[in-house]
Amino acid sequence: MLENILAYAYWTPQHILGLVLTIIISATLFHASLEDIRRRDIGSIHVVVLYILACFYIVITGNLGLHTTYVFLFAFILFMVISICSRGQFGIGDSLVIGALALYFHSFLAFQNFLYALGIISIPWGIYWIIRYRQNNSLAGVIHGFKRTIPIEQVRMGDVLFSDNFMHGLEQKDIDRLRHEGQVTVTVKSPFPFVPCLFFAFLLTLLL
């Protein structure tokens, strides 16, 4: 896919701009990955920027059509259902990012290649985080949903309440509210950051 982009880039300003947008999308995904690792949450600005860039890309490269809508709806609905069924272990933010990438790939074949790459990368990535989590938690904690109960003093911004199925990272005002309510301990989720998988799968798909 990247070879096609580069080949066209030497011929028309249209495809040069497409290449530039691809680079910016990659940079946005990289920054979102860092945020996900640090806070287990990505800012809404990342999602908005990705959708704007993806829309620009499909318009500029002439790939805007009914098939693009089908690919987007398929990916968005599928991963939103996965997000709901996983009780927040797979965040809605992840689903929104995948929806933006579905717009970028715009065809079922290209998006299928992305899913293959995502599967390849997710396996070792998930194993790494399970091992890392297991080192500091009981096996029961891993089995029962990557949760841990911690004193309110140890709650940090970005932690996600175990009862929250929408992966809303706690902000300072939320922590202050919990303390004001007299909470002594809080049960939080410990999901592994998934956006980095999307970033590496995106790059791998471009290289296929």
How high is the pLDDT of residue 102?
92
How high is the pLDDT of residue 166?
54
Answer for the pair 198, 118: CB distance below 8 angstroms, yes or no: yes
Torsion angle of C-alpha atoms 159, 164, 165, 171, degrees rounded to 10: -40
Sheet holding 185-189, edge to edge: 147-151, 185-189, 160-161
- Closest by CA position to 170, among listed 151, 144, 189: 189
Per residue in 78-132, pLDDT (tens digit) is: 888 877 776 656 777 888 899 999 999 988 888 899 999 999 998 998 888 777 7
Instruction: With both helix axes pointing from N to C terminus, report the angle between 44-60 and 92-105 in degrees, rounded to the nearest 10.
Output: 10
How high is the pLDDT of residue 10?
55
Least reliable range by pLDDT among 9-18, 21-30, 45-54: 9-18
pLDDT bracket for residue 147 (50, 70, 90): low
Per residue in 148-183, pLDDT (tens digit) is: 677 777 777 767 776 665 556 677 788 788 788 877
Cα 43 from Cα 132, distance rounded (Å): 25
The domain ranges of the chain are: 2-132+192-207, 147-189
The residue among 95 and 41 whose pLDDT is bigger is: 95
Least reliable range by pLDDT among 54-58, 139-143, 188-192: 139-143
How high is the pLDDT of residue 30?
95
Cα 127 from Cα 124, distance rounded (Å): 5
